[in-house]
Amino acid sequence: MARTIEQIQASIVADVQLTPEFSGLSNSNRAIWRLFSYVVAVTILLLEQIIDIFRADNEIKINQAIPETASWLTNKVFGFQYSATNPQILTLDNFVPTYNVVDASLQIITRCSVVTTISNKVLIKVAKSEPPISLSSSELSALQGYVNIIGVAGISYTCFSTDADRVYIGADIFYDGQYSATIQGMVINSITNYLKNLPFNGQLQISDLEFAIRNTTGVNDVLINNVKVRANSMTFVDGIYLIQSKTTISRLFPTISGYVIGEDTTGYTLSDSLNFVSNV
């Protein structure tokens, strides 16, 4: 805390009086060196006040600093910038990694999930664009470099981005015959919206899927016969059944890529696999 002018000047005067080389100076209050001590005291006061302001400002920043939690890292990943023609390079500003120019148009990440696995390993799943798609290899490489710089020393970070998982749904949809012209489109739209609104890196749940179908206007009931899920890298044959021949094997599926779309293998799309039965 800054001292008063009187305290600072008294300290200067005491030092002068204790210095043998200044023993011949007049101790009069009118002595010129006392005026000099006052001027110096005023200058020191201003400096100490500036230091107090600086210290207080830094203490506020420290107290309000966000710890490097998963939420913090997620927010930083959303701030990642990428340009195919102008590499975005982080620089250190008072040891804080920052971009020289923050350009929101270059912030390509639209989905992010941060998960701590084991042994100080962190998996960062991401996607770009709307609807989400996977990052290119160069984009993913640039993101990995960015995360390695902003991350905590001693922790291993792995950035992961791949095309959407696929889900095959075989079901009998019982509906009010008055909706025959539009029922297929409405049910497919309901399923698509359910998949679209899943939390990134969330879980596909059979009960929620059934509710989405059942809640479609015109639908009276639904019987789900088969549900098969797969990563995009897997073939349809190698997919994992959640329901097979009306038997539930698993009630949920933790997404691999972080997001899911309807199966796009010819003959197994939603348009192919949903059977509509009018019961009016």
Minimum mean pLDDT range among 117-121, 157-161, 162-166: 117-121
In the prediction, which pLDDT does 135 show?
A: 98
pLDDT band at 30 (very low <50, low <70, confident <90, very high): confident
φ, ψ of residue 201 to 5 degrees: the values are 65, 25
Segment 56-77 mean pLDDT: 81
Residue 195 has phi, psi (to 5 degrees) of: -65, -40
Q: Is 70 exceeded by the pLDDT of residue 124? A: yes
Local confidence band at 29 (pLDDT 50, 70, 90 cut-offs) = confident
* Residue 133 and residue 80 share a domain: yes
Instruction: Write out the DSSP string of 77-95.
Output: HHT----SSS---EEEETT
CA separation for the pair 31, 36 (Å, rounded): 9
Looking at the predicted structure, is the pLDDT value of residue 13 above 80?
yes
Query: Mean pLDDT over residues 182-200, rounded?
Result: 97
Residue 90 has pLDDT above 80, yes or no: yes
State pLDDT tens for residues 230-273. Answer: 999 999 999 999 999 999 999 999 999 999 999 999 999 999 99
Residue 189 has pLDDT above 90, yes or no: yes
Q: What confidence category does residue 122 fall into, taking pLDDT thresholds of 50, 70 and 90? A: very high
Contact of 128 with 108, CB cutoff 8 Å: yes
The counts of H helices and E strands in the chain are: 7, 13
CB neighbourhood size of 39 (10 A): 10
| In a shared domain, residues 155 and 117 | yes
Last residue of a domain, one of 129, 160, 191: 160
Nearest to 76 by CA among 93, 61, 96, 57: 96
pLDDT average, residue stretch 4-13: 90
One domain, residues 173 and 151: no
Number of structural domains found in the chain? 3
Does one domain contain both 35 and 99? no
When mean pLDDT is compared across 62-66, 101-105, 212-216, 258-262, the lowest value belongs to 62-66
**Residues 170 and 201 occupy one common structural domain:** yes
CB 160 within 8 A of CB 124: yes
State whether 203 and 153 are in the same domain.
no
Same domain, yes or no, for 96 and 152?
yes
What is the C-alpha to C-alpha distance for residues 234 and 79, in angstroms, rounded to an integer? 32
In order of 104, 128, 188, the CA distances from 192 in angstroms are: 29, 19, 6
Q: What is the mean pLDDT of the chain?
A: 93
My answer on whether 83 and 108 are in the same domain is yes
In b/e form, how buried is each residue of 80-102, taking b as 16+ CB within 10 angstroms?
bbbeeeeebebeeeeeeeebeee
* Same domain as 199, residue 135: no
Question: What is residue 66's predicted lDDT score, i.e. its pLDDT?
Answer: 66
pLDDT tier for residue 119 given thresholds of 50, 70 and 90: confident
Give the domain-ending residue among 64, 96, 112: 64
172 with 272, same domain? Answer: yes
Look at residue 280 in the predicted model and tell me its pLDDT: 62
Does residue 1 register a pLDDT over 80?
no
β-strand pairing of 260-262 with 203-205: unpaired
Do residues 162 and 257 lie in contact, with contact meaning Cβ atoms separated by under 8 Å? yes
In this structure, the answer to whether residues 133 and 55 fall within a common structural domain is no
**Residue length, the chain?**
280
**What SS3 state is found at 136?**
coil
pLDDT at 28: 82
Same domain, 218 and 253: yes
The residue out of 41, 64, 87 marking a domain boundary is 64
Residue 33 pLDDT grade (very low, low, confident, very high; cuts 50, 70, 90): confident
Q: What is the pLDDT of residue 60?
A: 75
On the question of pLDDT at 64 being above 70, the answer is: no
**Containing structural domain, residue 40:** 5-64
Query: Residue 217 carries which side chain, given as an amino acid letter?
Result: T
